[in-house]
């Protein structure tokens, strides 16, 4: 493979990592509180607000059921408003964040719901406020699940990021389509797939390792 092509791969990898990491960060910032709220706002729960919970649930489901490629195109005006342009890796972060936020929210909700309800009662029994319960009980106890949830979200984002090439977002997926598929360069296609596999593997390995590190439920002495 020529040095130019290798450069293209390196550049595309950089774009993918940039899009995915920024989108993952933003989606976590938005998705974590939404997920915690979803997990604690049903009737009788810590922040009981069943109506808000219901509406939020519908919005999250709607966002999750929209195919990503349609979401990308549909929100172009919004993307332009936020990023100033609808083209390029920077602009692609907007749809990626919007797609990943409800995904992360649902994963966070599931992880938080795994925490034994008895612990919430226990903390309430010694006078913890709802926010103290979230920060001192729910998040630390759900941490292994949260780490795995974020790992899963990053892996999914890598997949989504391949599609933003459709709107000039760049990245590995875009490279694979334009060079590998449209220009009949199977070696390019193969190289892109190998890089993606390596990225997913590394993300998953690091995520698994971190989740194990923070899991005190396992005996580790």
Positions that interact with another protein (CB under 8 A)? 43, 116, 118-119, 121-129, 132, 136-137, 140-141, 143, 214, 216-219, 221
- Distance, in Å, from the CA atom of 166 to the CA atom of 67, rounded to the nearest integer, reads 14
Measured from the CB atom, the residue of 76 and 128 that comes closer to another protein is: 128
The sign of the CA dihedral 161, 163, 165, 167 is negative
Shortest Cβ distance from residue 217 to another protein (Å)?
A: 5
Q: DSSP 3-state helix, strand, coil percentages of the chain (rounded to 5)? A: 80, 0, 20
CA neighbours closer than 13 Å in the CB half-sphere of residue 197: 6
CB of 57 to another protein, least distance (A): 17
C-beta of 119: minimal distance to another protein in Å? 6
Nearer to another protein, 5 or 45 (CB): 45
Using CB atoms within 10 Å of the CB of residue 125, give its burial: 0 to 12 exposed, 13 to 18 middle, 19+ buried.
Answer: exposed
* Nearest-approach distance from CB 128 to another protein, in angstroms: 5
Cα–Cα distance, 72 to 66 (Å, whole number): 10
Q: How many CB atoms lie within 10 A of CB 67?
A: 11
Residue 85 vs 122, nearer CB to another protein = 122
215: left (phi over 0), alpha (psi -120 to 50) or beta: beta
| Nearer to another protein (CB atom), residue 72 or residue 134 | 134
CB of 30 to another protein, least distance (A): 25
Closest to another protein by CB, 36 vs 99, is 36
Pick the closer one to another protein by CB: 142 or 196. Answer: 142
How many whole angstroms separate alpha carbon 120 and alpha carbon 115?
A: 9
* Listed residue (192, 187, 133, 132) closest to 159, CA to CA: 192
What's the min distance (Å) between Cβ of 80 and another protein? 44
- Cα–Cα dist 8/16, whole Å: 12
């Amino acid at each position: 493979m020529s040095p130019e092509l290798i450069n293209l791969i390196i550049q595309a990898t950089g774009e993918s990592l940039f899009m995915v990491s920024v989108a993952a960060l933003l989606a976590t910032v938005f998705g974590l509180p939404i997920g915690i709220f979803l997990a604690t706002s049903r009737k009788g729960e810590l922040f009981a607000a069943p109506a808000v919970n219901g509406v939020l649930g519908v919005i999250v489901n709607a966002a999750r059921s929209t195919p990503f490629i349609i979401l990308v195109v549909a929100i172009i005006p919004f993307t332009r408003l936020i990023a100033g342009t609808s083209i390029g890796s920077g602009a692609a972060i907007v749809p990626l964040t919007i797609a990943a936020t409800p995904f992360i929210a649902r994963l966070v909700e599931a992880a938080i719901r795994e925490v034994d309800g008895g612990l919430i009662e226990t903390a309430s029994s010694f006078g913890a406020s709802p926010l103290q319960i979230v920060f001192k009980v729910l998040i630390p106890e759900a941490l292994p699940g949260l780490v795995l949830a974020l790992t899963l979200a990053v892996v999914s984002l890598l997949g989504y990021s391949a599609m933003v090439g459709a709107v000039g977002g760049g990245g590995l997926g875009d490279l694979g389509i334009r060079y590998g598929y449209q220009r009949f360069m199977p070696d390019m296609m193969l190289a892109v797939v190998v890089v993606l596999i390596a990225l997913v593997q590394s993300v998953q390995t690091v995520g698994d390792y971190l989740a194990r590190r923070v899991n005190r439920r396992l005996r580790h002495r």
